[in-house]
Amino acid sequence: MFTKNPKNTSWSPVAKWYSGIVGEGGHYFHEHIILPNLKLLLDPKGGDSVLDIGCGQGVYARTLPHNVDYIGIDVSKELIQEAKKLTKNANQIYFVADATKGIPVPASSFDHAVCILAIQNMKDGASTISNVGQSLKEKGDLVLVLNHPSFRIPRQSSWGKDETQKLEYRRVNRYLSPLEIPINAHPGLADSPLTWTYHEPLQYYVKALKEAGMVITDLEEWTSDKVSTGKAAKSENRARSEFPMFLAIKAVKLSLS
């Protein structure tokens, strides 16, 4: 049985389950929302170098041109092993590392960095941002993609319905407080392994980027493209279009000159 320990933030205990969901090309939201929108924010060209933090099975790597130099790191040995199995490109390298404690790559060596749906699973996201900043070249850029911290807080946000106005709304119970939240991989099972998510408000990420010597150059909020049918379709579709699922922040490392 997996020990339910909040200090164990690796996804190794759920790697097999997660690999089944994500597969080689990503889950539905990877394919339909995250990866297409990310390409508009960050489009590495041949000869560029990319650092992928919390890379999992390397879904993002498989969207890149073959002549982009890529390094993916993840704290889960099992997910890195899966990424290596799926890799057919010699320019793509994976290894196990905890980005909150340091990134074992040369300083100022990457043109781009990404962290896709991973930083909220790290207990000290600010340290990760600081370490990524050290790894980037001057004017190198970082894109963070998060479950939107204003609207999608596990156990603290939910959908509600106003039958009088025929509206669906988003309820948020807590926002400013930092939260450590356990997530059951298999709800209903007594011995379900846990993953952990760490909620922080928007200002946390803005300040962490500032401390890392980076300036925000773009910010986007991405909504779901799914469409409801049935009696509640109008209110559900309207709510889905108003409350974004994902937040993307792009920041550039300031020149030291």
Q: What is the pLDDT of residue 4?
A: 40
Q: Which DSSP category does 144 fall into?
A: E
Q: Which fold has domain 12-155+180-228+245-253?
A: Rossmann fold (3.40.50)
Residue type, 71: I
Token pair, residue 167, equals: 């509206």
Asked if residues 44 and 141 have their Cβ atoms less than 8 Å apart, the reply is: no
**pLDDT score for 6:** 42
The domain limits of the chain are 12-155+180-228+245-253
Indicate the residue type of 15. A
Task: Please compute, for residue 154, the number of CA atoms within 13 A of its CA located in the half-sphere on the CB side.
Answer: 15
Count other C-beta atoms under 10 Å from residue 46's C-beta: 11
The list of the chain residues with pLDDT below 70 reads: 1-21, 23-24, 186-190, 256-257
The predicted structure's pLDDT at residue 21: 67
Q: What is the DSSP letter of 202?
A: H
Strand positions, DSSP E, the chain = 49-53, 69-74, 92-96, 110-116, 136-147, 157-162, 167-172, 179-184, 194-199, 214-222, 246-253
